[in-house]
Amino acid sequence: MKQALKKVLPMVAFLTACAATAPVQADTLANMERERALLIETMLDGEISPAERHLRLERGQRRLLDLERMVLRDDKLVGRNTPKVRQAFANYDLTFLVHASVEKNRSMADTWLGQLGISTQNLMSAKQGRR
């Protein structure tokens, strides 16, 4: 047993060192989606004041704008046929929130909720009851 451990442990240590020193690839899409998630969380946060929300959204919008541009300009994503990339580029308005909202002259919250099918009319006509 001891001898087996003597053989296995150095190998495990070596592999761990290799994994630790392996180059970390910057995933622009994951960074953008993380920032968008934080921005949406800010939009939906009911515990902050409107002024604070506006300020946070403005700062978040600038960061998200840069990240959206990084994704759109990232040649490594072109043709990378993974589920995450396919889903991202399937809906431009949902993925690239800042650019889509400015194009349509709407706020980010309106654009995002509109993509999810949540509008003022839908909410006003919603009824509570069993499905």
Q: Is 84 in the site for other proteins (CB under 8 A)?
A: no
Burial environment of residue 65 by CB neighbours within 10 A (0 to 12, 13 to 18, 19 or more): middle
Cβ proximity to other proteins, 58 vs 127, nearer residue: 58
62 makes contact with other proteins (CB under 8 A): yes
Pick from 27, 92, 94, 106: which binds other proteins (CB under 8 A)?
A: 92
57 in Cβ contact with 43 (< 8 Å):
yes
Q: Among residues 21, 25, 81, 120, which is the contact residue for other proteins, using CB under 8 A?
A: 81
Tokens at residue 109, please?
């919250």
- Is 102 an interacting residue with respect to other proteins (CB under 8 A)? yes
- The nearer residue to other proteins, 43 or 102, going by C-beta atoms, is 102
Phi and psi at residue 106, to the nearest 5°: -125, 165
What phi and psi values does residue 37 have, to the nearest 5 degrees? Answer: -60, -40
Neighbouring residues of 20: CB distance < 8 A, sequence distance ≥ 6: none
Give the binding-site size for other proteins (rule: CB under 8 A).
Answer: 26
Site for other proteins, rule CB under 8 A: 55, 58-59, 61-63, 65-66, 69-70, 72, 77-81, 85-86, 89-90, 92, 96, 98-99, 102-103
